[in-house]
Amino acid sequence: MRPTLRAEIDHNIRQLIRDKELLPGDPLPSESELAAMFKVSKPTVRESVRRLEVLGHVQVRRGVGLQVGDFDFRHVVDSLPYEYLTTGDVLLDLLEVRAVLEEGFLRRALNQYQPIHFARLQRIVERMEKESQIGEINANTDREFHLALYEPLKNSMVEQVIETFWALFENARSALALTVNVRSVDDHRRILEEIVAGREDAAVKALHSHFQPAFQDIRAEVERVQSAQ
């Protein structure tokens, strides 16, 4: 099947979902019906369905048929080619996007914090301190802290974006076998202190500073690889 036809059928199925204003879980026409609708073969439609299922646009349920999928940014992570995640330049780009997004989200969240949010962040920092005393901070604890920073926004899309870039960064870091300094207890405690004090600029600056050692580690690795070539 020619690439342009693949793209056309993928687009047509997504457009059908938009035009009919379908929601996750709503039924879609069968593969046979879609093939007749778009005047292509059933195998052609089946290939498009498989691609769109990987991306979360549709889902195939046994005994039920095709339905609109519940899109999740994590589908994007799973569908990226391995080669994309194995260069230091990509890791730098991912970290830069993540840092810019998180700094912006933090500014939005700062005037919405309640005591329950402070308490949750404090518990996570205390857990980090215990973990650092016996080795290193667990990656999932670091992830939990960053997600908790933006809980006051009550925005599931923000959570998915943070989860996606966190997963992309960790996958790339692991693929490169690179040790990156992003889990300092002092950094996380300083961010929390500035948030509790209500100092917006200082809190964002603390978050910005938190990412800088990681940038330095990755740049050093990129330079090492380039000099070895």
Question: Which CATH number do you get for residue 53?
Answer: 1.10.10.10
Closest CA to 149 of 140, 159, 138: 159
pLDDT in tens, 180-227: 555 588 999 999 999 999 999 999 999 999 988 888 877 877 777 667
Q: Which two tokens stand for residue 7?
A: 């793209």
Per-residue model confidence (pLDDT) at position 177: 63
Is the Cβ–Cβ distance between 12 and 28 less than 8 Å? no
Same domain, 31 and 64: yes
| Domains contained in the chain, number | 2
Last residue of a domain, one of 47, 71, 95: 71
Same domain, 53 and 99: no
Q: What's the half-sphere exposure (Cβ side, CA atoms, 13 Å) at 194?
A: 21
The enclosing domain of 202 has a CATH number of 1.20.120.530
Same domain, 83 and 152: yes
Residue 157 pLDDT level (bands cut at 50, 70, 90): confident
Last residue of a domain, one of 49, 71, 93: 71
Same domain, 216 and 197: yes
Residues sharing a CB contact under 8 Å with residue 200, sequence separation 6 or more, in sequence order: 107, 110
Average pLDDT over residues 140-150: 92
Q: Is the pLDDT of residue 66 over 60?
A: yes
Q: Which two tokens stand for residue 76?
A: 């994007």
Alpha-carbon span 87 to 73, nearest angstrom: 22
Which residues are paired to 46 by β-bridges? none
What is the largest distance, in Å, between two alpha-carbon atoms of the chain?
A: 64
Domain of residue 102: give its range: 76-228
Same domain, 199 and 91: yes
Neighbouring CB atoms inside 10 A of 188's CB total: 24
Q: Is this structure's pTM higher than 0.75?
A: no
Last residue of a domain, one of 56, 71, 86: 71
Please give the C-alpha separations between residue 120 and each of 100, 150, 195, in angstroms, as whole numbers. 24, 12, 13
pLDDT in tens, 11-59: 899 899 988 888 888 999 999 999 999 999 999 999 989 888 877 788 8
